Amino acid sequence: MYEIIDLHFQGEPEIIASYVLRGPRGVALIETGPGSTADNLLAGLMRAGIAKEEITDILLTHIHLDHAGAAGYMARLTGATVHVHHVGAPHMIDPSKLLASAGRIYGDQMGPLWGEFLSVPESQIHALHDGDIIDAAGIPVKAIDTPGHAYHHMAYWLEDGLCFTGDIAAVRLPGFDHIRLPTPPPEFHLQLWKESVAKLKAMKPDIILPTHYGPYEDVDDHFDGVVEKLDVLTDYLRRRVKAGAQADELMVELPQWLADQARREGVSQEGVHRYEVVVPSYMNVTGVLRYFRKVEGMDVSY
């Protein structure tokens, strides 16, 4: 029922996916990817024999630039309805605050990484709440509120057991069992993430499709691996902070720590590079340290 378009982010294969659902009244996309890969998305649609006029619906798991950056462009191009978490919806209509926040993180890399982020016309926005059923090109899709990576995160459930997990099932690249956690500031929340994973696991999907980068059928093992990695990463950083390590030190040491973990789990050097492209290790540091300060009350700067 689904097809995958590889967006070749930063020239790398199989690290950001846009998923295609062909329905009885058109075509739905789950994720558009960033503005920087919009041409790759359109080329992939063309190869799949899909005209822009056929796209009726765009479902975003959340509004981060690697998932939603091209949504405004695609909405204007196709006239499609954009379905997005109700917390994220205002920022798709007016992305000024979102872009200002991202600009503080990425600086002069904003353009090369993410390209142009256009607003979505308000008339084309459908704001979602937990349990809403979307008529996606004639296919019923259930929105599942799944915070932890971000408060504006939805997973999408199809009745045939498919679950499009966005970032809540973390990052796992094809050919590897290794899981890496995207924990960017400002909304990473350890306990909420675990609760969201438990919520999806209890639904017993047959296949999960993370945006980075599915599909996977070893569902329970994957979800268990996400929870394990959440504990491993936060425990490591918590110990280092309590030992006096500062953010700048951790940004130097964490890439090697993560790379060593990946290699122990059979990831090639090329794979280690691709994991770092999709989940920069400095984002792990800043996101988790902010959580320590805001939620756990630790005296830490980042």
**What is the CB neighbour count within 10 angstroms for residue 13?**
12
Domain that holds residue 15: 2-227
Give residue-wise pLDDT tens across range 242-298: 999 999 999 999 999 999 999 999 999 999 999 999 999 999 999 999 999 999 999
Report yes or no on 131 lying in a domain: yes
| Residues 6+ away with beta carbon under 8 Å from 135 | 57
Evaluate whether residue 283 is within a structural domain: no
Q: Tell me, what's the pLDDT at 179?
A: 98
For the chain, what is the largest distance between any 2 Cα atoms, rounded to a whole number of angstroms?
A: 59
pLDDT on residue 28: 98
CATH for 193: 3.60.15.10
Domain assignment of residue 295, yes or no: no
Q: Is residue 84 part of a domain?
A: yes
> What is the torsional sign of CA 293, 298, 301, 302?
negative
Assigned domain for 292 exists: no
pTM: 0.97
Cβ-contact 241, 211 below 8 angstroms: no
CA distance 138 to 115: 31
Give pLDDT tens digits for 122-143.
Answer: 999 999 999 999 999 999 999 9
Question: How many independent structural domains does the chain possess?
Answer: 1
- Average pLDDT in the 35-63 region? 98
Phi, psi of 11 (to 5 degrees): 75, 5
